[in-house]
């Protein structure tokens, strides 16, 4: 038995609210990580080897990554649910092209943000003498990396939410024909 339209809308609304909640946690974690990241003054150099202490940005980066994954998966749940089952329930169901474009933008923003967050977060770990972050060299997270990730998170969240909402709009061929005929007559 199919859910009534009001109940279906409430479920979709609830899923979108949860997605936005996780996205905002990810966004604010990135902003806090930007302020907590290591600076040049934290770097210790003994003439040959470098040492970088662990930064609180590491924990905030992990929190941003985890909540970003939850936001993206939960936010896209509505789209994938509609695209996988929509054709079975209503043969003339079609997801709008703009929803597909928005979801593509969402996944691209998500991918770039994840790469930036993974690299910045791994640089925020302790870099011992002789080991460093890469090839025995110490690296410092560049200023603006976490903020750039936060902006990409907002873009991914907004496009995912808008795309998922647009994917729930169902128009049948009969409705479209009626609209065209109503305008002509």
d(CA 97, CA 71): 22
Please count the structural domains in the chain: 1
Residue among 1, 2, 63, 11 at smallest CA distance from 168: 11
**C-alpha dist (Å) from residue 20 to 26, 28, 59, 119:** 10, 12, 21, 24
> Residues 5, 10, 14, 16: what is their CA dihedral angle, to the nearest 10 degrees?
50
pLDDT of residue 173: 43
* pLDDT tier, 115 (very low <50, low <70, confident <90, very high otherwise): very high
| Host domain of residue 63 | 5-184
Q: Which helix (H) or strand (E) holds 50?
A: strand 50-51
Q: Kindly give the residue spans of alpha helices, DSSP state H, lying in 37-56.
A: none
Question: Is pLDDT of 51 > 80?
Answer: no
pLDDT of residue 181: 53
d(CA 141, CA 12): 38
Residue 94 dihedral angles phi and psi, to the nearest 5°? -140, 130
63-88 mean pLDDT: 76
Q: Kindly give the residue spans of alpha helices, DSSP state H, lying in 90-144.
A: 97-123
Give per-residue pLDDT as tens, 128-161: 776 656 666 667 778 888 899 999 999 998 888 8
HSE toward the beta carbon, residue 163, CA cutoff 13 A: 27
């Amino acid at each position: 038995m199919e859910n009534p339209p009001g109940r279906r809308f409430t479920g979709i609304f609830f899923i979108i609210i949860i997605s936005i909640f996780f996205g905002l946690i990810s966004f604010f974690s990135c902003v806090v990580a930007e302020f907590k990241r290591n600076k040049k003054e934290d770097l210790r150099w003994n003439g040959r080897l470098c040492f970088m202490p662990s930064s609180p940005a590491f924990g905030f980066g992990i929190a941003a990554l985890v909540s970003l994954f939850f936001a993206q998966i939960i936010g896209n749940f509505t789209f994938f649910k509609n695209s996988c089952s929509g054709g079975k329930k209503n043969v003339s169901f079609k997801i709008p092209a703009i929803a597909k474009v928005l979801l593509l933008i969402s996944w691209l923003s998500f991918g770039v943000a994840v790469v930036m967050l993974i690299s910045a977060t791994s640089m925020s770990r302790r870099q011992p003498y002789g080991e460093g972050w890469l090839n025995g060299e110490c690296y410092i997270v560049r200023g603006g990396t976490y903020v750039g990730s936060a902006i990409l998170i907002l873009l991914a969240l907004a496009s995912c939410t808008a795309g998922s909402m647009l994917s729930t709009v169902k128009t049948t061929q009969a409705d479209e024909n009626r609209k065209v005929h109503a305008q002509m007559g």
